Amino acid sequence: MEYLFSYGTLQREKVQLDLFGRRLAGTKDALPRYKAREIEITDEAFLAKGDGKYQLIAELTNDNNDSIKGMVFEVSEEELLHADQYEPPNYRRIKVDLASGKKAWIYMAV
């Protein structure tokens, strides 16, 4: 099992059902030393999914006062690969340390 931290669309039940075929089990958590900022998505394939032109991305600040609230979900390695396909092409998956101490994957724009 892997942990996947979401601060955006992957928290939505419809997205989870469409992508993973199930509702994900998760708990509230936070990503310290990051802040969320909005970017414009131009990838037509992603926009066709109906998730909106503007999405949040995590930006490392290294400021202890910054934190992004979200949910950490338990997913399989296969489900991570599905999530990789879901995210826009300019996003990459990296492993981070959450406030709870869990090591989780997040998606960041490059």
Query: Phi and psi dihedrals of 92, rounded to 5?
Result: -130, 155
Write out the DSSP string of 59-107. Answer: EE---TT-EEEEEEEEE-HHHHHHHHHHS-TTEEEEEEE-TTS-EEEEE
| Least confidently predicted of 49-53, 59-63, 70-74, 100-104 | 49-53
Q: What's residue 68's pLDDT? A: 96
Percent of the chain with pLDDT over 70: 85
Res. 27 pLDDT band, cuts 50 70 90: very high
Q: Which domains does the chain have, with CATH numbers?
A: 2-109 (3.10.490.10)
**Using an 8 Å Cβ cutoff, are 37 and 104 in contact?**
no
pLDDT at 46 over 60: no
pLDDT computed for residue 49 by the predictor: 57
